[in-house]
Amino acid sequence: MSADGADPADVRTADLCDAHADRVQVLRPGLASFGGRRRFAGEVRTLQVFEDNVLVKQALAEPGHGAVLVVDGGGSRRCALLGDVLAASAVANGWTGVVVAGCVRDGAVLATLDLGVLALGTHPMRSVKRGAGVRDEPIEVLGARVVPGMWLYADEDGVLVSDARID
């Protein structure tokens, strides 16, 4: 909640862009919504992986405290980095959302969960399990530089990040 009692997920990205154009980066269009939450916001945590979701599983098994996990999956459309089991873990551990520059699976189940899930698409194939990747480092996702600790806001109009909470 903000100082005025507003939930940051109720803030509209278009309004944030109008009021804070100099403070936000907007991710390029292309993400589709798969989760039960269409609007969500939270402090960012990051992962960079490629066709391997071991670090995704590890991150979502930890307390999220309302955070949003942003996953640079290299834009791969050859397998899913998130499915119903990991998404349910995210909900149970207090994550607000997951943004994947890659694919997810189990779309029908994801839509029933109280979690924001954005991804490039769906794919039924699971990922490999090697544990390769980088966690909590700056990443580049859909034209935006995303750094752990930034704030992410997502709604029907798009996704943006800011260095600080701006609701």
In order of their start, the domains of the chain are: 8-162 (3.50.30.40)
- Residue 140's DSSP bridge partners are 145
Residues 56, 47: contact at Cβ < 8 Å?
yes
In the numeric block, which tokens belong to residue 70? 């942003």
Give per-residue pLDDT as tens, 20-77.
999 999 999 999 999 999 999 999 999 999 999 999 999 999 999 999 999 999 999 9
DSSP 165: -
pTM of the model: 0.94
Condensed to tens digits (0 to 9), the pLDDT of residues 86-112 reads 999 999 999 999 999 999 999 999 999
